Amino acid sequence: MPPIELDVISMLTVAEAFERIVCAHADDPSREFSGPGKVWMGISADLLDEEVVRHHLGLTGPAIVVRDVFRDSPALRAGLCAHHILVSCNGKDFENEWDLGRVLKEASPGDVLRLGVIKAGKRTEVELTLGSW
């Protein structure tokens, strides 16, 4: 299988990426987002290209690939690693690239997220207890 080339949006945290995406569409009030919330997952990640998600993963919604997991982070404690792919949150597949950002915006430290993750080609779920920003 040839290597997959990714057209990605780089970010320090998932919340920051969603802020950047939404700010680029500031003229659309349905995409309102006030910026990074008060919670921390502890990952750097990239939004996967729609075509990659559809053709290589067989998914219809967006997906986020974990690029790095920070030391002593909620993500590390939840068992996330680089190259894991996030596809859902709290039992609901991502419908658009803002879904996870909206969850994080409304969350509080200590809240538990059930993240749908593709690890080594298999879909599973992990529980991540959010830290404070």
Distance CA 19, CA 129 (A): 22
Sequence-ordered strand ranges (E) for the chain:
39-40, 43-47, 64-69, 85-89, 92-93, 112-119, 122-129, 131-132
Return left, alpha or beta for 21; rule: phi > 0 is left, psi -120 to 50 is alpha, else beta: alpha
Task: For residue 79, give the amino acid letter.
Answer: G
State pLDDT tens for residues 96-115: 878 888 898 889 999 999 99
Q: What is the pLDDT of residues 49-93, one digit of tens each?
A: 888 888 888 888 889 999 999 999 999 999 999 999 999 999 999
Residue 93 vs residues 3, 60, 90, 102, 124: alpha-carbon distances, Å: 26, 9, 8, 14, 13
Give the C-alpha separation, 102 to 104, whole Å.
5
Alpha-carbon radius of gyration of the chain: 14
Residue with tokens 């939004």: 47
Q: Show the domains of the chain with their CATH numbers.
A: 14-132 (2.30.42.10)
pTM of the full predicted structure?
Answer: 0.70
Predicted confidence band at 37 (pLDDT cuts at 50, 70, 90)? Answer: low
